[in-house]
Structure 1
Amino acid sequence: MVGTIRLTLALLIAAVATPSLALYQVVAMRTGLLDERPAPRAWHRLVTKLLGFRIQVRGKPAADRPLLIVSNHVSWTDIMVIGSLADVHFIAKSELGGWPIMGKLSRLQRTVFVERERRRKSGQQAGEIAQRLGKGDPMVLFAEGSTSDGNLLLPFKSTLFAAAHMALEANGGEPVTIQPVAIVYTRLQGMPMGRQHRGHAAWIGDRVLLPHIRELLSEGAVDLEVHFGEPVEFAAGSSRKEVAREVEARVRSMMAAALRNPI
C-alpha cells in the first residue's frame, strides 16, 4: 500500500515537472539561446530525490577536456545518479532509444546510442563518440556492457575505448582524460546491504521497469556512494586494451573499498 502511494505521488510529480523541463531543453537545443545543461541535471536530481536516494560523493569530475568517464553499471538509476552530479552525456544501448518516454528524454540529453552486438559498426560508433569528445562534451561509458548485481564488476569491454584514440588523432595528439568512476549501493533504510540485498537496487536482464520502480519506492531510502577516481591519460602510444584494464582495475579497487567499509 505504501509503495503504491509513493509510486503514484512520484509519477504525478514527475509528470508535472518533466514537460516543462523537456520544453526548455527543446528550445535550448533548437535555438542555442539557452544553456542546455541545467534541465537534464535538474531532472536527474528530481528523480533521485523521488526515489529516496541519498548520495555520498568522493572526489569530483575531472575538469580536463576531452573527458571520457568510465563507470561500472548496476541499474538504470546509475544514469540518474551521475546525471544529478555532473553535466554529462551518456553512451547507451540502442534499445533505450526505443523506450516510449526514456528514449525521447535521452535524445534531449544528446545521448549516443550504440549497438554493442554489431561489431561491424563499432568503428562508426566510436567515431561518433570521438567527435563528441572533441567538441568538449564529457561522455559517460558503462564499460561492462551490461548491468551487474552490484557485488562484482564484470570485465570491461575495450571496443569503445577506441573513441579515445580517434579523439586523440582528431585533436592533433592532445591527450584524452579517462576518469574511472565507481557506483556502489551500500545501505537500505540505513542498514548495510549484504550480498543478498544489493540485488534490490540492481536492474538486471529483462526485469520490467515499473515493478522495479515500485520496489525501490516501497523499501524506502537507499544510500549509495559515487567515487570519482584519479584520471588516466590516454596519450600517443597508449593501448586501448591496456588503458581499459587499468581503468577497470581502479574501478574494481574503489568498489571493493566501498563494499568493505561503506560510508
Structure 2
Amino acid sequence: MIGKIRIFLALSLVVVGSLVFVPLQLLSMKTGIWRETVILKVWHKLIVRTLGLRIHVKGALSSRRPLLVASNHISWTDIMVLGSFADVTFIARADMEGWPLIGWLSKLQRTVFIERERKRTAGDQASEIASRMAKGDAMVLFAEGSTGDGNTILPFKSTLFGAASMAISEGAAEQVFIQPLAIAYTRVHGVPLGRRHRPLAAWIGDQDLMPHLKVLMAEGALDVEVHFGEPIAFSKGSNRKETSKLMESQVRAMMQAALADPRPSS
C-alpha cells in the first residue's frame, strides 16, 4: 500500500511540474531569455528527488570546448541525474524519440537521436553532433551503445566517436576534447548494493519503461555516483579505436572504484 501511495504521489508531482516547466522551456527555446539548460536542470532535479535519487559527484565537467563526454549507460535515469547539475546535451538512440514523456523531454533538450544500425544516416548524424560541439555544446555520448546491468562496462563502440573526427575534418575545430565519465548506482536506503542487487537500477535492452519506473518510485532512496575523469585532446592524428579503448578503460576503472568503496548516503 505504501508503495502504491508513493507511486501515485510521485507521478502527480511529475505531472504538475511538467505543466509548469514545459511552457517555460518552450519560451526559453523560442526567445533565448534563459539558457536552455536552466529550466531543464530544475525539471531534472524534480524528477531526481521524486525518484529518491541521491547524487554524489567527483570531479567536474570540463570547461574545455569542443567537448565530447564518453560515459557508460545503466538506465534512462542517467539522463536525469546528469541533467540535474551539468550543462550538457545528450546523444540518444533513435527509438527514445517516440517514448512518452522522456522522448518529449529529450526533444526539449535538443537531444541528437542517432540510428546506430543505419549507416546511411551515420554521416548526417555525426555532422550534426560535430556542429553542436563546435557551437560550444558539451555532448554526452553513451559509448557502449546500450545499457549495462550496473556491474560491468560493455565494450565502447569506436564508431560512435566519429563525430569527433568529423568536427576536425570539416574544419569546425582543430581538436576535440573527450572526457571520460562513469555512473554507478551504489546504495539503496543507505545499504551498499551488491552484484546481485545492482540491476535494480538498470534499465536493460527492450525492458518496458513503465514497470521499471514503478519499481524505482516504489523503492526510492538510491545513491548514484558520477565520476568525471580528465579530458584528453583528440586531434587530426588521433586514432579513434585507441581513443575508444582508452575511454573505456578509464570509465571502467572509475566505475569499479565507486562500487568498491561507495560514498556514504547523505
The answer to whether the superposition gives a TM-score over 0.5 is yes
3-state DSSP class of the match of 1:37? helix
What letter matches 1:85 in structure 2?
F
3-state DSSP class of the match of 1:140? strand
- Number of positions where the alignment pairs a residue of Structure 1 with one of Structure 2: 263
Runs (4 or more) in structure 1 with deviation over 6 Å come to none
Q: Where does the alignment leave 5 or more consecutive residues of structure 2 unmatched?
A: none
3-state DSSP class of the match of 1:141? strand
Deviation at 1:20, TM superposition (A): 1.9
Contact 2:6–2:218 (8 Å) recurs in 1: yes
- C-alpha distance in structure 2 between counterparts of 1:218 and 1:14, whole Å: 15
- C-alpha distance in structure 1 between counterparts of 2:55 and 2:75, whole Å: 15
- C-alpha distance in structure 1 between counterparts of 2:220 and 2:65, whole Å: 38
TM-score (norm. length: structure 1): 0.96
Q: What whole-Å deviation, never above 9, does each CA across 1:118-156 have from its counterpart, x for those lacking one?
A: 122222211110011011111110000100101010000
Contact 2:90–2:140 (8 Å) recurs in 1: yes
1:245 aligned partner: 245
TM-score (norm. length: structure 2): 0.95
2:106 aligned partner: 106
1:127 aligned partner: 127
2:233 aligned partner: 233
What letter matches 2:113 in structure 1?
F
Deviation at 1:30, TM superposition (A): 1.5
1:200 aligned partner: 200
3-state DSSP class of the match of 1:92? strand
Q: What whole-Å deviation, never above 9, does each CA across 1:69-89 have from its counterpart, x for those lacking one?
A: 111000010000111120111
Instruction: Please state if 1:16 is matched with 2:6.
Output: no
Q: What whole-Å deviation, never above 9, does each CA across 1:151-191 have from its counterpart, x for those lacking one?
A: 01000011121111111234465221111000001111111
3-state DSSP class of the match of 1:85? coil
- C-alpha distance in structure 2 between counterparts of 1:64 and 1:16, whole Å: 37
Q: What whole-Å deviation, never above 9, does each CA across 1:59-113 have from its counterpart, x for those lacking one?
A: 0000011111111000010000111120111001110111132212111100000
What letter matches 2:212 in structure 1?
H
- Sort the Cα spacing of 1:120 and 1:191 in 2 relative to 1 into closer, same or farther, 3 A: same
3-state DSSP class of the match of 1:257? helix
Contact 2:158–2:241 (8 Å) recurs in 1: yes
- What is the root-mean-square deviation in Å for CA atoms of aligned residues? 1.2
2:262 aligned partner: 262
Q: What whole-Å deviation, never above 9, does each CA across 1:33-55 have from its counterpart, x for those lacking one?
A: 33322111111111111111111
Q: Where does the alignment leave 5 or more consecutive residues of structure 1 unmatched?
A: none
